[in-house]
Amino acid sequence: MISFIVNKRRVSVDVDPATPLLWVLRDNLGLTGTKYGCGMAQCGACTVHIGGQAVRSCVAPVSRAAGKEVTTIEGLSPDLSHPLQRAWLEIDVPQCGYCQSGQIMSAAVLLKEIPHPSDDDIDQALTGNICRCGTYPRIRRAVHRAAEMMAERPPGAKPRPKPGTAGGEP
Amino acid sequence: MTRRLESQVLDCAPGMRRREFLKLSVAASGGLLIGFYFPASAAAAAETFAPNAFVRIGKDELVTVIVNHSEMGQGVYTALPMILADELDADWNKVRFEPAPVDPAYNHPVFGIQMTGGSTSTWSSFEQFRKAGAAARALLVMAAAQQWSVEPGSCRTENGSVVHAGSGRRASYGSLAEKAAGLKPPAQVALKDPKDFKFIGKPLKRLDTAEKTNGKGIFGIDVKMPGMLTAVVARAPVFGAKVKSFNADKTKAVAGVRKVVQVPSGVAVVAEGFWAAKRGRDALQVDWDLGPMADFSTESQRKQYAELARQEGLAAKKAGDAGGALASAANKIEAVYEVPYLSHAMMEPLNCAVDLRGDRCEIWTGTQFQTIDRMAAAEVAGLKPEQVRIHTTLLGGGFGRRACPESDFVREAVQVAKAAGAPVKVIWTREDDMHGGWYRPMYYHTLQGGVDAQGYPVTWVQHIVGQSIMADTPFAKMMMKDGIDPTSVEGAADMAYALPNLQVEYHPTKNAVPPLWWRSVGHTHNAFVKECFLDELAALGGKDPLDVRRKLLAKAPRDLGVLELAAEKAGWGKPLPAGRGRGLAVHASFESFNAQVAEVSVDKDGKVRVHRMVSVMDCGTYVNPGIIEAQVQGAAIFGLTAALYDELTFANGRVQQSNFHDYPMLRMNETPEIEVHVVKNTEKSGGIGEPGVPCAAPAVCNAIFAATGKRIRKLPIRMNEAA
């Protein structure tokens, strides 16, 4: 039995400890927002957070999550309120959408570590995430936009109305 | 199967105009369902009509648009609802989409089967969705007018409501839905004057972004059903190989493996979840009869193609006397161009979930080919097509791969479900997907061209060697003429350049590697060859590549238009930093016109760096310029990936590449700035998913010549092979 926390929920699974976390999330826990793309940490579609770090769950054995906190796209926010999700909606980033969970999860760690990333920082953080549709230009714009949103409203802070607008939400 | 489908395809040949008839029925919710009857075919128009429903309006005010094309990233779940909602005067915030079930009513208006492909979804459904919206609107107006005892003509609509001009009374569509459902439809409905469009032409936000941003969107691979098992299949390592025998002892020892079953494509390991199935498959020992492709190699294939190119081919185009003009040309050159097999490499590998029981078969998958898949599934299951239901999920990319004439991934999944006796989802690994065939075929071109005394191109002889995609499919009869597959020569035989002498010959080849349409199909290689060889002729005549194109496109205004705009936006002719070069390409495909300018440098190790791309798209009347910008950027990246990196090669009958480490994709850090300009005009709508792909490779290759003086004649680009 391996126990860990997924999206703030404690879970225990009875699986071979070598099973990749990806398949435990998808097949045992029903969290299908995390995607399979290559199975060899080449494409980033399976990116989740373990203890706040971006991890390719297709090659991470579930044993690596034991006792730790795992966050998947479903746990990033309950209501699309994370700045990255808001920026993704504002800029209409996804095309087919399959890689976007991984893109967002990689970008989330970047923004936590570097609140105002440069283009080079974005390259560094997101080069491990492939998008076959070619949404990279919009991903770049959206990451910059999310950084702006975070600066406008630090996480946890109350919405700060701008002069001339009714509220903080777009 | 093939013959049945053929007749269906033939019945609905392109160009057929259909008369529409309105039909109403009350939806289960008590809402209003509006659709059309279409004749099943022109011949049967008088007596046979098929219902076709595109919109549902509920008492809750929600407007659900039923979309008969698959969403694979191209934005069709937004563009088609926009068209319908515009004529309906709907409140855009209340508009939702729903994938259509499989039914002849949802057939492609041009191709006559339910499908998504050929960059046709938006333009082919444009009128259909307008009329569906306008018809719904007319009934809602009638319902309000009756309720108020006023003339329908005294009412107008806005933002999801009917308004009576005289009294200012207002009724929401939801409140009118039930009453409208009981009304007899008008024989004719008026469409808006395009100048009154509220949504069409505007960059409205996509309707599917939220579910693609919170992990909730369901792709085929995400489908779950009660009691479902997962299968991974050991398939032939060489195309055409057959299972001689297999030993599953070690497989059955893997925890979670439930069954091992043989199917025509190989041996399926059926287990509780993907990981057990994959481990079980890895432990399986299969002895294969490799068959005639056991020695197949890319090298031997190239030799065979080179030999064929020297022979006489099928005449795809013959204008003037190209051979004679070569003999009298002031200057001439010849060249060989080559492109490899390519995998579509959608981010979501192939998969298909099947629940087969007795008299019905339920299928969940991301497909571009519902009608064909349904027929294939019915054939395998021993059912009638009507007993097979296909639930179209989101597609994690398609690019043509999910439009397989043999329905390989659906057919096999039904076979596995049948053999396993349980609901099964077959998942292909990335390696399975890359080795599974249905590739953009390898092509080999030879060219001879000449310029006149003024240095302008006057003659062109081209031999195109490669597998036909259409041959041996149900589409052959409808699409092929005199043995020529139009997709093999498109963009070459019909090039826009005014060359007095043009000869294009096609040499179809056959082998067991299954070929398929791959985003922009024949244009993927023909645009590369045409635009690069034209650049060679420009250089031969000592001309600027832009000037030569201008002269040869003088009577092709839309080609010329995108060319001029791309050159202007890219700063053609303006100085560049040392080591950089600009290249351009212009090409029409899928009834749209595209020109691209690339800015490139090559470092001392031969690494090509693309710094900037300008892409100008004229797709005529358009629906959503925001989606178009994204498609055109993505198409350039798709084209750059093929230009810079990808090839599938064969040795000992086996594909040598397997995953993204040896079949790379362009990544964020390699993606140039891509500037998109969409031409605004009122021309007929063209496609948008594919036309942005073909120019990327030649623009880059021509820029490499400008930067280094070296010609790239083989993709992917390898500077050490450049001449």
R_g over Cα of chain B: 27
In a domain, residue B433? The reply is no
Provide the 10 A C-beta neighbour count for residue B598.
Answer: 34
In a domain, residue B52? The reply is yes
Decide if pLDDT at B722 tops 50: yes
Q: Of all residues in chain B, what percent carry a pLDDT higher than 90?
A: 88
Decide if pLDDT at B475 tops 90: no
Domain final position from B212, B229, B256: B212
> Inter-chain contact A88–B209, Cβ cutoff 8 Å?
yes
B239 and B196 within one domain: no
Q: Please state the domain count of chain B.
A: 3
In a domain, residue B77? The reply is yes
Strand order in the sheet with B580-589: B580-589, B592-602, B608-618, B673-678
Token code pair at residue B73:
């990233």
Of A95, A98, A127, the CB nearest to B630: A95
pTM (2 d.p.): 0.93
Q: What is the DSSP string of B546-587?
A: HHHHHHHTTT-HHHHHHHHHHHHHHTTTS---TTEEEEEEEE
Question: Is residue A81 less than 8 Å (CB to CB) from chain B?
Answer: no
Summarised one tens digit per residue, pLDDT across range B191-244 is 999 999 999 999 999 999 999 999 999 999 999 999 999 999 999 999 999 999
Closest residue on chain A to B351 (Cα): A36
In this prediction, residues B683-694 reach a mean pLDDT of 97
Decide if pLDDT at B6 tops 60: no
Q: How confident is the model at residue A157 (pLDDT cuts 50, 70, 90)?
A: low
B135 and B116 within one domain: yes
- Per the structure, the complete domain to which residue B183 belongs is given by 2-212
> Inter-chain contact B206–A135, Cβ cutoff 8 Å?
no
Number of CB pairs, chain A paired with chain B, less than 8 A apart? 182
Of B73, B217, B274, the CB nearest to A133: B73
Closest residue on chain B to A80 (Cα): B214
Q: Which range among B8-12, B128-132, B305-309 has the greatest average pLDDT?
A: B305-309
B466 and B413 within one domain: no
pLDDT for the residue numbered B183: 85
Closest residue on chain A to B632 (Cα): A134
Summarised one tens digit per residue, pLDDT across range B592-611 is 999 999 999 999 999 999 99
Hey, which bits of B73-158 come out as E strands?
95-99, 155-158
Question: Is residue B213 less than 8 Å (CB to CB) from chain A?
Answer: yes
pLDDT for the residue numbered B222: 98
B616 and B566 within one domain: yes
B263 and B393 within one domain: yes
In a domain, residue B509? The reply is yes
Higher model confidence: residue B721 or residue B508? B508
Residues of A in contact with B666 (CB under 8 A): 134, 136
In a domain, residue B434? The reply is no
**Nearest-angstrom CA–CA distance, B195 and B621:** 12
Contact between A115 and A108 (Cβ < 8 Å)? no
CATH assignment of the domain containing B191: 3.30.365.10
Of A33, A92, A129, the CB nearest to B626: A92
**Nearest-angstrom CA–CA distance, A29 and A15:** 12
Domain final position from B212, B246, B264: B212
Decide if pLDDT at B590 tops 70: yes
Test mutation, B204, B214, B225, B633, chain A, max A CBs within 10 A: B214
B286 and B357 within one domain: yes
Summarised one tens digit per residue, pLDDT across range A86-116 is 999 999 999 999 999 999 999 999 999 999 9
Lowest mean pLDDT among A79-83, B1-5, B549-553, B633-637: B1-5
Decide if pLDDT at A161 tops 70: no
Cα dihedral B475, B476, B478, B482, rounded to 10, equals 160
Q: How confident is the model at residue B478 (pLDDT cuts 50, 70, 90)?
A: confident
pLDDT for the residue numbered A138: 98
Question: Is residue B28 less than 8 Å (CB to CB) from chain A?
Answer: no
Decide if pLDDT at B53 tops 90: no
B534 and B671 within one domain: yes
Residues of B in contact with A41 (CB under 8 A): none
**For B368, phi and psi rounded to 5 degrees?**
-100, 0
**In chain B, positions 254-283, which contact chain A (CB-CB < 8 Å)?**
255, 272-275
In a domain, residue B598? The reply is yes
In a domain, residue B413? The reply is yes
In this prediction, residues B520-530 reach a mean pLDDT of 98
Mean pLDDT score of chain B, rounded to an integer? 92
Domain final position from B427, B450, B485: B427
Provide the 10 A C-beta neighbour count for residue A124.
Answer: 15
- Cβ neighbours of residue B282 closer than 8 Å, sequence gap 6 or more: none
Residues of B in contact with A76 (CB under 8 A): 214
In a domain, residue B432? The reply is no
Q: What is the DSSP string of B31-78?
A: -EEEEEEEESSSTTTTT-EEEEEEEEE-TT--EEEEE-S--SSS-HHH
Residues of A in contact with B230 (CB under 8 A): 27
B315 and B172 within one domain: no
Decide if pLDDT at B25 tops 90: no
B420 and B366 within one domain: yes
Contact between B149 and B140 (Cβ < 8 Å)? no
> Inter-chain contact B668–A135, Cβ cutoff 8 Å?
no
ipTM of the modeled complex: 0.93
Full set of structural domains in chain A with CATH? 2-75 (3.10.20.30), 83-152 (1.10.150.120)
Which residue matches tokens 């200012």? Answer: B168
Enter the DSSP assignment of B521.
Answer: T
B487 and B382 within one domain: no
Higher model confidence: residue B382 or residue B472? B382
Q: How confident is the model at residue B389 (pLDDT cuts 50, 70, 90)?
A: very high
**In chain A, positions 37-66, which contact chain B (CB-CB < 8 Å)?**
37-40, 42-43, 45
Closest residue on chain B to A121 (Cα): B669
Q: Roughly what angle, to the nearest 10 degrees, separates helices B408-420 and B370-381?
A: 30
B181 and B82 within one domain: yes
Question: Is residue B406 less than 8 Å (CB to CB) from chain A?
Answer: no
B260 and B117 within one domain: no
**Nearest-angstrom CA–CA distance, B184 and B490:** 47
